[in-house]
Structure 1
Amino acid sequence: MALPGSRGAPRTRAPRDLRLDVLRGLCLVTIFINHVPGNDFEAFTTRNFGFSDAAEAFVMISGIAAGLAYSADFRAPMKLWQGLTRIWKRCWTLYLVQMLVTVAALAAAALAVRATGDMRILFENQMGWLWHHPLETLIALPLLLHQFDYLNILPLYILLLLASPLALIGAWRAPWLTFGLSVAIWAGFGIAMIAPQLWPMSGNWFFNPFSWQVIFVTGLLIGVASKDGRRFVPVRLSLQILAGGYLLFALVTCLWLDFSRGVGSTLWFLKDKVGVPWLFTDFDKSFLTAPRLLHILALTYLLSSLAVVRRICASRLLHPLAVLGRHALPVFAFGSIMAIGLQGLRHSTERDILLDGLLIGSGLALQFAFAFAREHWPKPAR
């Protein structure tokens, strides 16, 4: 028998940290509910209790997961090519999923039309461009120059992951410089309102990658530090109080109308009378303005620094959410397709909480069933 600490001693794996899985699963539930707009359960999702929503949380978690998964390949130069090929392979998978979801969403919309006779869903979510400008739209869709609404977060993730090697190299060598450069890009492009353009329709990408990269890069830095056995930002009571105070401020702003009006008036004064750039005073999602960015940063810090969160996420009660989060990509794709179909079905129904419960509940049940099926999916032989 090998002595403790000897070369031959068996290594015990540390228990899996379920926080990422559970929180990602919660994001998937929230995103699905919000992607069927007008239902009665939207009022209980996170976007009604703070400045950011599940999209910001999903991108942050994706950044952390990418930092954990790919960072080791960028620590030493000899593994650089291996790291690049792994990331390129993942990006190709994401691209194929985006194409599949785009086509399947059109099929779901068509199925809803056949079931209800109501054709409105075919002309919503930027799908109408396919019928009015078919050649241009068919060219633009695979180039990611045209994106259907509610199906536009994967193109963002593809671009961010393609650019992630630079951030991963920087995360090992100069993490705070990397973070500073990321913030500078966010501020510069945001103030100037520069974003990738869409075609054939006019306008910008809904999720501007120059803005949203700051969340993803922050997640990468957190993931790389965690891979190295440390924290990117240490746990300090003063920072916890500061983060908690901002989250409380956002909660009160969202729930108390008079207070919200006062906040809005103050921000208007700072922008129009004092000259503070709009990026720091507005609540725009596409350019990820400062109130939204600060909210997701504060939420991430508080959730990651409180030991009770780890214990709660490890409970058996939240195991279904952990399974959902472990299979985020296929579940997200499946849920996005169903959400488009449910949007079409709801056009022919009256607003009713029981019907909403049936539709949303059935959709979520199918996603959980899919995730548990994936959990026990036969693995291909090597």
Structure 2
Amino acid sequence: MKSYLFVLITGLLLASCTEKEPRTDYVINGNAKDVYNGIRVYMSKVGPNGRPVMVDTAIVMNEKFKFTGALSHPELYYLNVASVNGRIPVMLENAEMTFELDKSNILESILLGSEAHSEMLEFNSTIQEHKEKLIQAQKNYSDAQFVRDSVNMEKDKEVIEKLNKRIQDYPFEFIDDHQDSFSTVQILEMQLRSRDFDLNRIAKAFNNLDPSIKNSEPGLSVKNKIDGLRQLIEKEKATQIGAIAPKFSAPQPDGTTLALDEVLKKGEITIIDFWAAWCGPCRRENPNVVRIYEKFHDKGLEIIGVGLDGRRGQQNPKEAWEKAIKDDGLTWHQVSNLKYFDQIAKDYNVNAIPAMFILDKEGKIIAKNLRGIQLENKVAELLN
């Protein structure tokens, strides 16, 4: 009996010792039927700036090619062939994979051996199916509307609403069912790029992912994007119409400091005008602002210009700023830190100029980003 137990335990130990270690490299065995020798196959990925970055190249010989390498995690790449139109997205992972090229339509090519790729195919296939049903339902609604079939219009409208909701919900259902898969990272990236993304829902889905996914390089990249968008939304809230404008103070041309609050006390409404000497559109708009100021200053209009001079390569920014003030006849208050898009611009979520905010006497934003006749009409509406 003891001998039997010894053999059994020894067998179990040997079995555990022979378990396969996780693979640390990948191989793609490519089959390229009807592709000539010497044609190149390219592997690329999307770089930090959103543009394709070439990663590797293989050469077709005897209708075959091969890629080898190693990945720290499954990741989205693209394959394209020099003699074939288009490119195909593939989720690569450390495994032995087979790629069957469809020369007539590269998007019909098949990658086998990657679990992450299979999951993405499953996701894309289901989404496409829902979208095709939606297109048909919209056509049915249009047909019913044309013949004024109110009964079917109501039915089709209900189907359209359900399919739209299904398309919105499915990505998050898929993520919940694949919380330990790197395919979820790509789906979250897609959600962040969608027109009407739900940031809170995306953040919740991300937080529910397995820690190994959340703490990976692509997981942290998604987290940074979520955090960045959240900060941007908060900044937009701080300068939306109805909000109290962020307070600031900055040096005037003579070196003394002027605060926004000091200007607010002087008028009925105040325009904050973000501009710069180097900004062509700003300089072309200045004559219009001068005319509006001269017309409405006595009725309670104040303006404080915030100069964003000081960009890299600008010679003598203070001199350029002061010269532009004089040349353009800007007789209202002017301040600048001479630090390009400085903290004031960031607080107002200004990333392009000219940018304008109209404030009431209490500092509440009542209008923004108006130019030309629209700006004049708004000021007239507020002061006449």
TM superposition score category, shorter chain reference: under 0.3
Higher strand proportion (structure 1 or 2):
2
Give the TM-score taking structure 1 as reference length.
Answer: 0.21
Give TM-score, length-normalised by structure 2.
0.21
